[in-house]
Amino acid sequence: MQRVLVLNGPNLNLLGTRRPEIYGTTSLAELDERCRAWGAAAGFAVDCFQSNHEGELLDRMHAARAEAAGIVLNAGALTHTSYALHDAIEAVEIPTVEVHISNVKAREEWRRRSLVAPACVASIYGRGLGGYRWALEHLAARLAAPPQDLAYGADPDQHGALRLPAGPGPHPVAVLLHGGFWRDPWQRDLMDPVAAALTARGYATWNAEYRRVGAGGGWPATLVDAAAAVDHVACLAADHPLDLGRVVLVGHSAGGQLALWVAGRDRAPAAETAVTPAGVVALAPVADLVAAFEAGLGDGAAEDFLRRTPADGPDRYAAASPAARLPLGSRQVLVHGTADELVPLDHSRRYVAAATAAGDPVSLIEVPDAGHFDVIDPRSKVFAAVSAAVDDVTPAP
């Protein structure tokens, strides 16, 4: 079994009692316990180490060189001051994921700068202790199916991970758009397990990031990026054996809204550089932004995304909500768990009824007892339905 080192820096020994309103009430010992369990689920044996001393952290990283396939690092305040940690990450050449419990991008100015980030393969922040789990999953997906991290634009958030399956191709392509209610701390690592699983199944996967609310996104940048990320597949096809006739958009939650929206966006008839997807697989999508607003999904997420309520002006809702743009003219398969508490199943039922009435080829797979995140977990029993839906939308010629 591969080993992963979970490394915590200064003051994290005080977890549970230190500023609980920011860091929670769970102790470091309990966090270590959880990391070992999360690691085991992802296929890792996890070693945990904490120190308040920079030199001890460096020594532990150097020792990991012989044994660890990955490192999860919460360097605490050393994140913002330590070039030595940056250099150690580079020197040991072990893929390292930076983690912060709090949203360091939304606190004091000095916390926004991370000296270790440029040496890390991913930076996860603002997701509480769960960030450690996502970091372990990111490492597992990265080791199982190594990605190429590529930019599709000049903004630091316009990038994606390309994974190619074995064989000469041309490969069908799954473009992945992650969820998180369009908000900053949620990034494309959410879709890494799906990306690795679909690549193992024979798909080239392009797991795209986009600008998010709280980090330069929201109306209209998030939509512009989603479309640009999809169209970038045409550029990727210039260098890789991709089948542009078999492109499926796979979006989860808010990413489901983006995927459906891109599939239905208006396009100039002869836009040869625009990628026309064969269809969309929307996993627990936010398919109706007015309904999302009315139900208060994600604590006002639709309003934060569009910077409007429907009463302030319906135009942005009409422009961005898949339900307002029917028919999309594209094949759509929705997969939704009956136990989803973040985006209730009813939203998909109503959307599919409306899309069917509008003449779209659309179907809904209801998965008994599945929650919001089960549909993006390749280890859940639900996932067979997800991969079957992806295959269905991209039939082999």
| Residue positions annotated with a catalytic role | 23, 100
Cβ 137 vs Cβ 42: under 8 Å: yes
Cβ 284 vs Cβ 252: under 8 Å: yes
Instruction: Using the structure block, give the residue that is written with the tokens 């768990």.
Output: 337
The type of residue at 4 is V
Residues 200, 23: Cα–Cα separation, whole Å: 37
Least spacing, CB of residue 55 vs ligand DQA, in Å = 18
Cβ 291 vs Cβ 323: under 8 Å: yes
Footprint of ligand DQA on this chain (CB under 6 A)?
11, 74, 76-77, 79, 100-102, 104, 111
Can you read off the two tokens belonging to residue 339?
């136990």
Burial of 216 (0-12, 13-18, 19+ CB in 10 A): middle
Residues 152, 254: Cα–Cα separation, whole Å: 20
Residues 84, 237: Cα–Cα separation, whole Å: 40
Question: Measured between alpha carbons, how far is residue 196 from residues 282, 350, 377 in Å?
Answer: 18, 32, 11
Residues 141, 196: Cα–Cα separation, whole Å: 6
Choice between 29 and 388, CB closer to ligand DQA: 29
Least spacing, CB of residue 32 vs ligand DQA, in Å = 15
Listed residue (74, 79, 78, 83) closest to 32, CA to CA: 74
Choice between 15 and 173, CB closer to ligand DQA: 15
Cβ 160 vs Cβ 206: under 8 Å: yes
Rg (CA), the chain: 21
Residues 217, 209: Cα–Cα separation, whole Å: 11
Choice between 22 and 384, CB closer to ligand DQA: 22
Strands (DSSP E) contained in the chain are 2-8, 44-50, 68-74, 96-100, 122-125, 148-151, 159-163, 171-177, 204-208, 242-252, 279-283, 331-337, 362-367
